[in-house]
Structure 1
Amino acid sequence: MSRFVDRAVVHATAGAGGNGCASVHREKFKPLGGPDGGNGGRGGSVVLVVDPNVHTLLDFHHHPHATAGNGKQGQGGFKAGANAEDTELRVPDGTVVFDEFGDIVADLVGSGTRFVAAAGGRGGLGNAALASSARKAPGFALLGEPGETRKLVLELRSMADVGLVGFPSAGKSSLVAALSAARPKIADYPFTTLVPQLGVVSAGEDVFTVADVPGLIPGASEGRGLGLDFLRHIERCSVLVHVVDCATFESDRDPVSDVQALEDELARYTPALGGDLTDRPRLIALNKIDVPDARDLAEIVTADLTERFGWPVLPISTASRTGLRELSFAMAERVRAHRAAQPVAEPTRAVLRPVAVDDSGFTIEEDRELPGGFVVRGARPERWVRQTSFDNDEAVGYLGDRLARLGVEEALAKAGAEPGCPVTIGDVTFDWEPNTPAGMAVMMGRRGTDARLDRTGRINAAVRKAARADRRRHHTDEELFGPADSADLGSDTDDDEH
Structure 2
Amino acid sequence: MASRFVDRAVIHLAAGDGGNGCASVHREKFKPLGGPDGGNGGNGGDVLLVVDRGVHTLLDFHFRPHAKAGSGKMGQGSHRSGANGETLELHVPDGTVVLTEDGELLADLTGEGTTFVAARGGRGGLGNAALASKARKAPGFALLGEPGEARDLVLELRSVADVGLVGFPSAGKSSLISVLSAAKPKIADYPFTTLVPNLGVITAGDSVFTMADVPGLIPGASQGKGLGLDFLRHIERCAVLVHVVDCATFEPGRDPLSDVDALEEELARYTPSLGGDLADRPRVVVLNKVDVPDAADLADLVRADLEARGLPVFAVSTASRQGLRELTFALAEIVERHRAEQPAPEPQRVVVRPQAVDDSGFTVEPDPEEPGGFVVRGERPERWIRQTNFGNDEAVGYLADRLNRLGVEDALAKHGAVPGCPVTIGDVTFDWQPSTPGVAVHLTGRGTDVRLEDHGRVSAAERKEARRIRRDGPDEGTDGE
- Per the normalisation by structure 1, the TM-score is 0.93
Deviation at 1:183, TM superposition (A): 0.6
> Partner residue of 1:364?
364
> Partner residue of 1:240?
241
2-side partners of 1:7 and 1:323: how far apart?
A: 36
SS in structure 2 of the partner of residue 145 of structure 1 = coil
Amino acid at match of 1:434: P
Amino acid at match of 2:121: G
> Partner residue of 1:135?
136
SS in structure 1 of the partner of residue 13 of structure 2 = strand
The answer (yes or no) to whether the contact 1:162–1:237 under 8 Å persists in 2 is yes
Deviation at 1:5, TM superposition (A): 0.2
* TM-superposition CA deviations, 1:363-394 (whole Å, max 9, x none): 11111111111111111000000000001011
Residue correspondence of structure 1 range 51-66 to structure 2 within 5 A:
51-66=52-67
2-side partners of 1:298 and 1:458: how far apart?
A: 93
SS in structure 1 of the partner of residue 383 of structure 2 = helix
* TM-superposition CA deviations, 1:27-67 (whole Å, max 9, x none): 11111111100000111221111110000000011011111
Residue correspondence of structure 1 range 296-315 to structure 2 within 5 A:
296-307=297-308, 309-315=309-315
**Cα RMSD (Å) of the superposition?**
1.9
The answer (yes or no) to whether the contact 1:166–1:172 under 8 Å persists in 2 is yes
Residue 422 of structure 2 is aligned to residue 435 of structure 1: no
> Partner residue of 2:209?
208
Unaligned runs of 5+ in 2: none
* TM-superposition CA deviations, 1:154-205 (whole Å, max 9, x none): 0000000000011111110011011100011111111110000000001111
Residue correspondence of structure 1 range 46-85 to structure 2 within 5 A:
46-85=47-86
Unaligned runs of 5+ in 1: 482-498
Residue 16 of structure 2 is aligned to residue 15 of structure 1: yes
> Partner residue of 1:446?
445
Deviation at 1:251, TM superposition (A): 3.0
2-side partners of 1:324 and 1:475: how far apart?
A: 111
Deviation at 1:456, TM superposition (A): 3.6
Amino acid at match of 2:288: N
2-side partners of 1:189 and 1:339: how far apart?
A: 36
> Partner residue of 2:377?
377
> Partner residue of 1:491?
none
Deviation at 1:473, TM superposition (A): 11
SS in structure 1 of the partner of residue 4 of structure 2 = coil
SS in structure 2 of the partner of residue 328 of structure 1 = helix
2-side partners of 1:440 and 1:205: how far apart?
A: 81
> Partner residue of 2:316?
316
Deviation at 1:354, TM superposition (A): 1.3
The answer (yes or no) to whether the contact 1:208–1:332 under 8 Å persists in 2 is yes
Residue correspondence of structure 1 range 284-303 to structure 2 within 5 A:
284-303=285-304
2-side partners of 1:134 and 1:155: how far apart?
A: 55
Residue correspondence of structure 1 range 376-415 to structure 2 within 5 A:
376-415=376-415
* TM-superposition CA deviations, 1:235-262 (whole Å, max 9, x none): 0001101111111111311111110110
Give runs of ≥4 in structure 1 deviating > 4 Å.
463-476
1-side partners of 2:263 and 2:466: how far apart?
A: 93
SS in structure 2 of the partner of residue 47 of structure 1 = strand
The answer (yes or no) to whether the contact 1:404–1:439 under 8 Å persists in 2 is no
The answer (yes or no) to whether the contact 1:40–1:80 under 8 Å persists in 2 is yes
2-side partners of 1:424 and 1:312: how far apart?
A: 66
Number of equivalences: 477
1-side partners of 2:185 and 2:295: how far apart?
A: 24
* TM-superposition CA deviations, 1:341-365 (whole Å, max 9, x none): 1111123222211111111111111
User: 1:271–1:472: structure 2 CA closer, same or farther, 3 Å change rule?
Assistant: same
Quick check: which has more Rg, 1 or 2? 1
Deviation at 1:439, TM superposition (A): 8.7
2-side partners of 1:120 and 1:146: how far apart?
A: 7
User: 1:400–1:319: structure 2 CA closer, same or farther, 3 Å change rule?
Assistant: same
Residue correspondence of structure 1 range 85-484 to structure 2 within 5 A:
85-307=86-308, 309-435=309-435, 441-463=440-462, 465=464
2-side partners of 1:316 and 1:300: how far apart?
A: 15
Q: Percent identity?
A: 74
Deviation at 1:435, TM superposition (A): 2.4
2-side partners of 1:439 and 1:175: how far apart?
A: 83
Amino acid at match of 1:105: L
